[in-house]
Amino acid sequence: MTDLYPLRRALLSVSDKTGLIELGQALAKRGVELLSTGGSAKTLRDAGLNVKDVSEVTGFPEMMDGRVKTLHPKVHGGLLALRDNDDHVAAMDEHGIGAIDLLVVNLYPFEAALARGADYAEMIENIDIGGPAMIRASAKNHGFTTTIVDVEDYDALLAELEANDGQTSYAFRQKMAQIAYARTGAYDAAVSTWMADAIGETAPRRRVFAGEIKQTLRYGENSHQQAAFYTDGSARPGVATAVQLQGKELSYNNINDTDAAFELVAEFDPAESPAVAIIKHANPCGVATGATLVEAYQKAFDCDRTSAFGGIVALNQPLDAETATKIVEIFTEVVIAPGASDEAKEIFAAKKNLRLLLTDGLPASRAALTAFKQVSGGMLVQDKDVGYVGLDDLKVVTEKAPTEDQMRDLLFAWKVAKHVKSNAIVYVKDSATVGVGAGQMSRLDSANVAASKAERMAKELGLPETLAKGSAVASDAFFPFADGLLEAAAAGATCVIQPGGSMRDQEVIDAANENGLAMVFTGMRHFRH
């Protein structure tokens, strides 16, 4: 094996014909013999190129609706033969096998069929067999053969040939082989995951996760950690599919926090009211709805102005000029919204470091998704928490029932608590958070943190009493003791929403009755670790 190896014969068989003609023309100019199949061959011939059908090489026609065309020793032998092995060369001569130095294949559009909701039969027909087999054979023999599986690598191939007088280097073939195996791995992962879902297998024996690089990040959570951002190919609106109009490159933490913000704000139907969520370190520091987007932003900002500095802002409606003007009054890292007016874009343009991300819509808050987390030696896999509680799901457990306004705030608080790190306590008044306690080791501490924030902000706003006065409070899991509930009552809360289910539920209910609180149980918890 030598470092540089010439391209004399190429097999081009692609589903995506983008750039195929230009590639074929460039190869033909270098005297490379072109082999091809079906539609690829027709595309090349229609462009005036001389192409030999693979069926001419194998002596067998394409058959079974194209299911069988390249699965033949004269194809795989041409890809796999070691050119410096005398036995391999002798076998090629004996059986009339010509070497194939370049393979260009992209696979049947299985992922595209999945994205458009194709039925079972169509999905089966979009499972490529010959393509992955050829890719794996060619990539294995990268000492001699070059394997191209992505349209975006056509230019790199041509640049390599130009730099090396029609030859490819070993380093280039290695790199393309790695890309090729990653592609077949991701393809098989998509097929196996789809089939598990199709047959209702919720915990398959083997599970594969795959992604495609979107961005190499400067670093991870901290500067000493390497990181990259991969997409899963889904069309779900959010940070992975958003268009960034301005601002510097997103960091690892920006992406994580922006995702948290947008998933939270999507809990609020834009047809009902504008909503704004402000996130810091993946936790909400202010969430509100309002009659207008700017009102919602102001209410969210007034929950915790200190934490909002350098935060992430997510909107459930397109950004308008008035809201944009308000947002740029303080330093904000990222704004994500389902659209923006031209006037709003102009206002943001003056803030060069402010990232503006626009999406085609909001993610469906109740869509079935899979979430996973790495642990030492394995993965934890679960359904994404899309649990929903409506008015009819609530059970009043106290002597006093919540009023209509209190019920509205209780449900609002419950939606927010779902997105706060556990232990989570959320105070809400007039459809706006007024205190958020997140990630404490005890529920009592979370209640205390949230209450202290509500009191501090009241002083900052020049108000005579805490923002928590008359508020609704949500707890993401049950109160194990009455102390957390009593802390909320002392802070000024008048009603409570919690899952229930503790051995001491009656103790907590009695404490609520003694303090004049209305309380409802959801029967569902929202731990978020």
Describe the chain by its helix, strand, coil percentages, rounded to 5.
Answer: 40, 20, 40
Please state, as a whole number, how many other Cβ atoms lie within 10 Å of the Cβ of residue 412: 26
Q: Return the sign of the alpha-carbon dihedral for residues 109, 112, 114, 120.
A: negative
Residue linked to tokens 């896999």: 381
Residue 81, token pair as written in the block? 């033969």
**Residue 214 annotated among the catalytic residues of the structure:** no
Residue 479, token pair as written in the block? 């109160």
Torsion-angle region of 430 (φ positive above 0: left; ψ -120 to 50: alpha; else: beta): left
Distance CA 109, CA 124 (A): 11
Distance CA 144, CA 153 (A): 18
Catalytic residue, chosen from 17, 88, 214, 281, is: 281
Helices (H), 99-238: 110-115, 120-125, 130-140, 154-163, 170-198
Is residue 434 within 8 Å of 416, Cβ to Cβ?
no
**Closest listed residue to residue 277, CA positions, set 209, 335, 344, 350:** 335
Amino acid (one-letter) located at 188: D
Is residue 194 within 8 Å of 114, Cβ to Cβ?
yes
SS3 per residue for 281-349: CCEEEEEEECCCHHHHHHHHHCCCHHHHCCEEEEECCCECHHHHHHHCCCCEEEEEECCECHHHHHHHH
Which residues have C-beta within 8 Å of that of residue 167, sequence separation ≥ 6? 4, 5, 6, 7, 161
**Residue 140 annotated among the catalytic residues of the structure:** yes
Can you list the pairs that 127-130 forms with residues at least 24 positions away whose Cβ atoms lie under 8 Å?
Answer: 127/191, 128/15, 128/187, 129/67, 129/71, 130/13, 130/68, 130/69, 130/70, 130/71
Catalytic residue, chosen from 42, 52, 140, 326, is: 140
**Closest listed residue to residue 449, CA positions, set 346, 353, 239, 307:** 307
**Closest listed residue to residue 529, CA positions, set 448, 425, 378, 424:** 424
Distance CA 458, CA 475 (A): 22
Amino acid (one-letter) located at 333: E
Q: How many CA atoms lie within 13 A of 276 on its CB side?
A: 31
CA-to-CA separations, 324 to 102, 251, 315, in angstroms, rounded: 53, 22, 11
Which residues have C-beta within 8 Å of that of residue 371, sequence separation ≥ 6? 381, 382, 383, 384, 385
Torsion-angle region of 405 (φ positive above 0: left; ψ -120 to 50: alpha; else: beta): alpha
Catalytic positions are 140, 281
